[in-house]
Structure formats: C-alpha cells, structure tokens
C-alpha cells in the first residue's frame, strides 16, 4: 500500500528553514509520497538532496523529486523568480507543486515543463 500525503502551504510555512527540510525527510523515511502545495525553491531542493544523502541507508536509498512551476530557470539570478516573489509579497501563492517520494517506491518519472507523471509501487528485486 502506498501512502500519499498532501501538504498545504500553511503546514510547511510553519516549518521554517532547516526544520522544513527535516520534516520532509522524516516523512519520506516513513515511506510516504509527499505532494507539496507550495513548490520547493531550487535552493530548498538542493538542501533536501544534501539532507537525504546524510540519511541514506539500506531501507532508505534516497528520493525522487519533481517540481512543476515554482522557480523558473533561465531568467537570471534568483532562487525564486521575480514573478513568484511579487505574488508572495501580495499574499498570494505561486502556481505549481512539488512531488517527492522515497526512491524505492518510485518506478518511473516523466517530466516536461507542462506535466509530471509518476509511476509508483513496491519495487521487486531479483
């Protein structure tokens, strides 16, 4: 059975900085697939990879991650795009989402700028 947890922007905003990353890794190690209403920034994704590598074990070999929307690369110099920063300043939420799952549950990911497709299930090893 696969457990998918949808995390609202409010829940994660209560977990600032390193606590947010700890919170995510803790849940991923429990075998949950997480869907984040507020997409992770590129800086947060990097910190998540670092935090994950510190916790890699035979039962938790790592994660798969995919983000739609959120930070756009190619427009120069910020972890969050200008558009996203303005939306946040005005109290709005940027469009997009991040999906993260334990790598042993994620069999295949297909990603393009418009869509994110995941195939999940227990992996069988020979």
Partner 1 sequence: MIDSIFGWIRGLFGRKKRVCLGLYGAPNAGKTSLANKISMDWLGEPLGEVSRIPHETRMVQQKENVRMRANGFELSMNLLDMPGISTKVDYRDFIRYGLTLEEAQKRSKEATKGIIEAIKWLEKVDAALVVMDACEDPYTQVNITVIGNLEAREIPVILVANKIDLPKADAKRIREAYPQYPVVEVSALKGDNVDLLYDEIARRMR
Which residues, at least 6 apart from 9, have a Cβ–Cβ distance to it below 8 Å?
37, 38, 93
Q: Report the distance separating Cα 68 and Cα 118, nearest Å.
A: 13
Q: Is residue 62 within 8 Å of residue 32, measured between CB atoms?
A: no
Report if residue 45 touches partner 1, rule: CB under 8 A.
Answer: yes
CA proximity to 32, closest of 64, 65, 67, 2: 2
The dihedral through the CA atoms of 23, 24, 25, 31 has a sign that is positive
- Minimum CB distance to partner 1 smaller for 58 or for 91: 58
- Minimum CB distance to partner 1 smaller for 16 or for 77: 77
Report if residue 50 touches partner 1, rule: CB under 8 A.
Answer: yes
Report if residue 91 touches partner 1, rule: CB under 8 A.
Answer: no
- The tokens for 118 are 């995941």
Report if residue 52 touches partner 1, rule: CB under 8 A.
Answer: yes
Report if residue 38 touches partner 1, rule: CB under 8 A.
Answer: no
Contacting partner 1 within 63-82 (CB under 8 A): 63-67, 71, 73-74, 76-79
Report if residue 58 touches partner 1, rule: CB under 8 A.
Answer: yes
User: Residues interacting with partner 1, by CB under 8 A?
Assistant: 42-43, 45-46, 49-50, 52-54, 56, 58, 61-67, 71, 73-74, 76-79, 103-104, 109, 111-113, 125
């Amino acid at each position: 059975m696969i457990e998918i947890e949808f995390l609202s922007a409010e829940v994660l905003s209560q977990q600032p900085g390193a606590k947010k990353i700890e919170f995510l890794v803790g849940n991923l190690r429990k075998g949950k697939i997480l869907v984040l209403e507020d997409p992770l920034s590129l800086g947060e994704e990097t910190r998540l990879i670092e935090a994950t590598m510190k916790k890699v074990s035979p039962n938790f070999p790592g994660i798969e991650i995919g983000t739609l929307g959120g930070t756009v690369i190619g427009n120069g110099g910020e972890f969050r795009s200008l558009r996203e920063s303005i939306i946040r300043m005005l109290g709005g939420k940027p469009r997009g989402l991040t999906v993260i799952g334990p790598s042993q549950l994620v069999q295949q990911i297909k990603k393009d700028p418009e869509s994110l497709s995941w195939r999940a299930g227990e992996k069988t090893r020979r």
